[in-house]
Structure 1
Amino acid sequence: MELSGEKLNKAADYAEANFKLMWKLFSEEDRGRILTGMDEVSEYIRTIVRDSYIVDSSPIYWLEFPLIGNPCTDFSVGYYADELPEQIHIVGESLRDKKGYFEHFYKLLKENDKHNEVCLEFDVSAGEIKRPSYGSIPYMVDDFTISENKKRIIDNMTLINQTDRIDEAISIYDKSPEYWKPYYQGVSDVRENLPMRITWLLDDDCKQVYKEDPGQLKKDLESVGAVMTDATIDQMLEVLKLEGTVELQMDLSKDGHVLSHIGLCVSSDYYYQSTDPMKIYEDYIKLGIKWGIADERYKCISPENKVIMLPYYDEERGMIHKRISMGLYILKFKWSHKGIIPLKAYYFMKSNKMM
């Protein structure tokens, strides 16, 4: 049964008010202006928060901002499958045709306990607020084999009407070395060349391969069609020398060739595998400063996540609490055919109602 316009608007009002509260906490001590160029939440982001909201859900939001140059931000919305409501009601008309996309991941969770996350990524800095890129991330998954990944690719591409891209996605994973673990797929139908994001996890075993034979990285990249300069390869090897699992990102164009941008992301989750997470964070930042792709604004964030409990009155349950968590999600090093580009930080914000 569809919800009335009044109920959808009420849900959107809640989502907007909830996000503004998280933004207020994030932007304390002038962080909002320094990191994103905004004192208040922009109209673009408010629109996305409202339109992308699934009624009775707890989305996770990411701000994506550079750590040097003019402050700005892109914006992503994610939903964990285990937190999706049984009945999917999307507020924004432009996203309602993707109802089946969310229902699939909810069904997948119920059937085999796969904790997948559905991502909607908006190029806010380019003025795009209605048409996101779509992606899915397999969390709590031990099987990173190509056979398991093929099913994720087929499901994901079918749900977003991109079946013509299934073969090219599977092909590039088939070509990759066995110590690259297939991870995430996403597709943009609004960016130039309609890129499909392809990623792998490079763990300690993989990094040991490159430690013993640095020349192997160039061979592995070329095996999947990614041709990088020696200067880029050298910088990638420096990132891979540091502690923590790294996510390797590439983009495939509509015609199947690898585009010139390549990324290495390090997740804040992995900082906590060390006794000194701040040191690991600063080690990556030092590379950014050495290469001229980060400045002092990195001091506005840290790898330590914040958790804040706030009292909240719920119309159905009375006085409860909100659990707000926020913090650094990943740092992304990225290269183009012109060389390295500004270091970016992804900062997450999430709110859950607690009894």
Structure 2
Amino acid sequence: MELSGEKLNKAADYAEANFKLMWKLFSEEDRGRILIGMDEVSEDIRTIVRDSYIVDSSPIYWLEFPLIGNPCTDFSVGYYADELPEQIHIVGDNLRNKKEYFEHFQKLLKDNDKHNEVCLEFDVSAGETKRPSYGSIPYMVDDFTISENKKRIIDTMTLINQTDRIDGALLVYDKSPGYWKPYYQGVSEARENLPMRITWLLGGECKEFYKKDPGQLQKDLEAVGAPVTDENTISQMLEVLSLEATVELQMDLSKDGTILPSIGMCVASDYFYQSKDPMKIYEDYANLGIKWGIADERYKCISPKNKVIMMPYYDDEKGMIRKRISMGLYILKFKWSHKGIMPLKAYYFLKSNKMM
């Protein structure tokens, strides 16, 4: 049974108020202006927060901003399958036809204990607020095999009506070396040629391999069809891989099966916590950005240490409860195009949960 417009609007009001509270905490000490270029939540982000909200859910939001140059942001919304409500009601008209997309991962968790996060990424800096990139990210899993990844590709591409992307993606993954661990995929509905994001995790075994044989990285990139021949780019990638933490390797696959001339390497803050000194790891990566001229001192406005705040909150149904707000660095992203290395980007997450 669908909810009335009144109930959907009420849910959207809650989502917006909740996000504005998180934004206020994030933008303290002038961080909003320094990192993103705005003190208040923009109209575009406010629209996305409202339209993408699933009633009675606790989404996680990401602000994606460069650490050099003009401050700006793109914006993503994520839903963990184990936090989705039993009934899916999406506020915005433009996302309601994706109801089955969320329900699939909800059922996959219930039936097979498969944990996934559904991610909606919006190119806000280009004025896009209605057509996101869709992705599903596995978590709490140890199985990063080709066979498990194949199931995820088939499921995800079928749900977003992109079945013609399946064979091309599988072919690229089949060409990749065994020490690249298949991770997740996503497809944009808005970008030209609908690029498909394909990714791998490069962990200890892989990094040790490249340390012993640096020339193998170029060979592996060529094997999957990545157009990387610039020695300086390869040298910088090897330097990223030489530091502590698992690296997520990202490429974009066009509809004609060719890999586009841009490659990303992401370092997730989750891996920082495996160290006794997560701040040192963060600074090591940030200092690479400083050295290469793709970051400036604004990286000091954030840290890999998550901030958790417990706040009293009045709920219309439950009365006075507590709200647990957490925020912090999600990933740092290095990216190279055919023109060379691009500005270092940070992804900063904001999440709120109601507590009894």
Partners of 2:178 and 2:51 in 1: how far apart?
A: 41
Residues 81-134 of structure 1: CA deviation (Å, up to 9, x unaligned): 000011000000000000000000100010111110000000000000000000
> Which amino acid counterpart does residue 163 of structure 2 have in structure 1?
T
Partners of 1:131 and 1:227 in 2: how far apart?
A: 28
Partners of 1:309 and 1:199 in 2: how far apart?
A: 35
Match of 2:224 in 1: 224
> Which amino acid counterpart does residue 8 of structure 1 have in structure 2?
L
Q: Note the C-alpha offset of 1:316.
A: 1.3
Please give the secondary structure, in 2, of the residue aligned with 1:211. Answer: helix
Q: Note the C-alpha offset of 1:216.
A: 0.3
State how 1:166-181 maps to structure 2 within 5 Å.
Answer: 166-181=166-181
Match of 2:196 in 1: 196
Partners of 2:143 and 2:337 in 1: how far apart?
A: 31
TM-score of the two chains, using structure 1 as the length reference: 1.00
Partners of 2:209 and 2:123 in 1: how far apart?
A: 36
Partners of 1:353 and 1:162 in 2: how far apart?
A: 36
Q: Note the C-alpha offset of 1:252.
A: 0.2
Match of 2:297 in 1: 296
Residues 150-193 of structure 1: CA deviation (Å, up to 9, x unaligned): 00000000000000110001110000000000001000121122
Maintained 8 Å contact 2:227/2:260: no
> Which amino acid counterpart does residue 268 of structure 2 have in structure 1?
S
Maintained 8 Å contact 2:32/2:38: yes
Match of 1:134 in 2: 134
> Which amino acid counterpart does residue 169 of structure 1 have in structure 2?
A
Residues 289-328 of structure 1: CA deviation (Å, up to 9, x unaligned): 0000000100100010000000011111111100000000
Residues 206-260 of structure 1: CA deviation (Å, up to 9, x unaligned): 0000000000000000000012111100000000000000000000001010000
Match of 2:246 in 1: 245
Match of 1:47 in 2: 47
Match of 1:236 in 2: 237
Match of 2:97 in 1: 97
Q: Note the C-alpha offset of 1:34.
A: 0.3
Match of 1:278 in 2: 279
Partners of 1:239 and 1:164 in 2: how far apart?
A: 34
Match of 1:261 in 2: 262
Match of 1:351 in 2: 352
Partners of 1:179 and 1:121 in 2: how far apart?
A: 28
Q: Note the C-alpha offset of 1:65.
A: 0.1
> Which amino acid counterpart does residue 170 of structure 1 have in structure 2?
L
Residues 265-291 of structure 1: CA deviation (Å, up to 9, x unaligned): 000010011111100000001100000
State how 1:151-162 maps to structure 2 within 5 Å.
Answer: 151-162=151-162
Partners of 2:57 and 2:158 in 1: how far apart?
A: 24
TM-score of the two chains, using structure 2 as the length reference: 0.99
Partners of 1:183 and 1:165 in 2: how far apart?
A: 16
Partners of 2:128 and 2:317 in 1: how far apart?
A: 36
Please give the secondary structure, in 1, of the residue aligned with 2:32. Answer: helix
1:85 pairs with 2:85: yes
Partners of 1:291 and 1:239 in 2: how far apart?
A: 12
Partners of 1:253 and 1:334 in 2: how far apart?
A: 18
> Which amino acid counterpart does residue 127 of structure 1 have in structure 2?
G
> Which amino acid counterpart does residue 86 of structure 2 have in structure 1?
E
Partners of 1:227 and 1:125 in 2: how far apart?
A: 27
> Which amino acid counterpart does residue 343 of structure 1 have in structure 2?
L
Match of 1:112 in 2: 112
Maintained 8 Å contact 2:133/2:186: yes
Identical aligned residues as a percent: 86
Partners of 2:172 and 2:332 in 1: how far apart?
A: 25
Please give the secondary structure, in 2, of the residue aligned with 1:111. Answer: helix
Superposed CA RMSD in Å reads 0.5
Maintained 8 Å contact 2:22/2:325: yes
- Shift >2 Å, 4+ stretches: none
Match of 2:23 in 1: 23
Match of 2:4 in 1: 4
Q: Which runs of 5+ in 2 are unaligned?
A: none
Partners of 1:86 and 1:162 in 2: how far apart?
A: 26
Maintained 8 Å contact 2:116/2:138: yes
Partners of 1:21 and 1:317 in 2: how far apart?
A: 20
Partners of 1:160 and 1:310 in 2: how far apart?
A: 38
Partners of 2:231 and 2:198 in 1: how far apart?
A: 22
Partners of 1:193 and 1:33 in 2: how far apart?
A: 34
Residues 54-103 of structure 1: CA deviation (Å, up to 9, x unaligned): 00000000000000000000000000000001100000000000000000
Q: Which runs of 5+ in 1 are unaligned?
A: none
